[in-house]
């Protein structure tokens, strides 16, 4: 954006919330976020707590851009097809977890979770295939947890379930490039997520020929227009995903997906189904496998109900202040 809104204005419009999850995800049971009542739209600042200020400031840039100015790129679609997301839940909870997403034709299964084995992943993916039937789409997300040999072994074991793609099987770009070479004959595409959103150079993965498609998120990439520019320069298909956002954060993701020139994959924007509560009276949950592209405003009752405790609220406001200073500099 051309000019940052003053810090005092941003803090005056900030509400810190703690939203309970249906199931433990990324090691947490509550999703904390700062909601900003911007003059253009409500927006969300919610980098994960372990991220340093330099990384988190990019998320703030996205939140301020979305809340204080409109994208210059027009919408191309009014609804976004979405996938269901399955955390590493016990086998007996697979069906009930997926049921929260309604009629989604695609499921992203989290694999390589800490404390889990390949046998656990095989059992969970097999159950998803049974529930989806032969026509459903299954994609996997390892969050970079496998090394090169582990990734090759796991994909060879799991490809029997007709995988749409595997997201970030290894952490490093060079590993992704070598893995893509090794499994070429299997026909399982590789998607890059962390190698784009957490990289100093988000285009390195495309230049290295290390991925078949990009998984992009609006907040970690600095906002809608910057994410669109990265996709355009990379020249690869893209799927838009979320970071366990509230419905306000998901609305920004939907606006990004609505502006992509090409959208061939269901997007990971149905994750409001994993929240036990939400910040709006009209959550952005999947209906018939899609979410609408629409504004989402925080609900006054929800802001009272989900308010973070004073210590956590102070922590987030101090973090926002530091990130605003980095952006100003």
What is d(CA 136, CA 96) in angstroms, rounded to the nearest whole number?
Answer: 17
Q: 223 near 247, Cβ under 8 Å?
A: no
Cα–Cα dist 220/207, whole Å = 20
* Beta-sheet pairing, 28-37 with 14-25: antiparallel
Is 141 one of the annotated binding-site residues? yes
CA dihedral (170, 172, 174, 177) in degrees, to 10, reads: 40
Separation CA 12–CA 15 (nearest Å) = 9
- Is residue 114 within 8 A of residue 87, CB to CB? The reply is no
Residue 36 parent element (H or E)? strand 28-37
Pair 183, 176: CB distance under 8 Å: no
Q: Would you name the residues annotated as active-site residues?
A: 110, 217
Alpha helices in 187-246 (DSSP H): 194-197, 204-207, 224-234
Helix (H, G, I), strand (E, B) or coil at 56: helix
Q: Are 205 and 168 in contact (CB under 8 A)?
A: no
Rg (CA), the chain: 19
DSSP β-bridge partners for residue 213? 191
Structure tokens at 152: 């090759």
Distance from C-alpha of 235 to C-alpha of 243, rounded to nearest angstrom:
23
Q: Which of 214, 209, 165 lies closest to 187 in space, CA to CA?
A: 165
Conformational region of residue 133, where left means phi above 0, alpha means psi within -120 to 50, and beta covers everything else: left
Between β-strands 28-37 and 42-45, what pairing exists: parallel, antiparallel or unpaired?
antiparallel
Point out the annotated binding site for Mg(2+).
Answer: 141, 167, 193
Binding site listing: 141, 167, 193
């Amino acid at each position: 954006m051309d000019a940052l809104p003053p810090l005092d204005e941003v803090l005056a419009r900030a509400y810190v919330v703690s939203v309970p999850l249906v199931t433990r995800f990324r090691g947490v049971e509550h999703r904390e976020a700062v909601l900003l009542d911007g003059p253009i739209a409500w927006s969300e600042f919610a980098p994960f707590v372990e991220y340093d200020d330099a990384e988190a400031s990019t998320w703030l840039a996205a939140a301020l851009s979305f809340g204080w100015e409109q994208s210059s790129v027009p919408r191309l679609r009014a609804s976004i097809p979405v996938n269901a997301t399955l955390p590493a839940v016990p086998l007996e909870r697979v069906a009930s977890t997926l049921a929260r997403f309604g009629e989604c034709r695609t499921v992203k299964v989290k694999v390589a979770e800490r404390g889990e084995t390949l046998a656990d992943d095989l059992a969970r993916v097999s159950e998803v295939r049974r529930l989806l039937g032969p026509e459903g789409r299954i994609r996997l997300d390892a969050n970079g947890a496998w090394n090169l040999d582990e990734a090759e072994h796991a994909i060879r074991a799991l490809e029997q379930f007709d995988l749409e793609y595997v997201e970030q099987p290894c952490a490093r770009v060079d590993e992704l490039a070598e893995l893509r070479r090794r499994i070429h004959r299997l026909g399982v595409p590789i998607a890059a997520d962390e190698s784009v959103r957490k990289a100093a150079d988000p285009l390195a993965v495309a230049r290295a020929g290390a991925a078949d498609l990009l998984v992009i998120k609006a907040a970690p990439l600095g906002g809608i227009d910057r994410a669109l520019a990265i996709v355009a320069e990379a020249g690869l298909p893209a799927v838009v995903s979320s970071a366990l956002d509230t419905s306000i954060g998901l609305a920004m993701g939907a606006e990004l997906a609505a502006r992509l020139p090409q959208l061939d994959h269901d997007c990971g924007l149905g994750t409001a189904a994993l929240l036990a509560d939400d910040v709006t009276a009209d959550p952005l949950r999947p209906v018939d496998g899609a979410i609408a592209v629409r504004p989402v405003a925080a609900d006054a009752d929800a802001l009272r109900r989900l308010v973070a405790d004073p210590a956590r609220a102070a922590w987030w406001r101090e973090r926002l202040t530091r990130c605003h200073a980095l952006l100003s500099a």
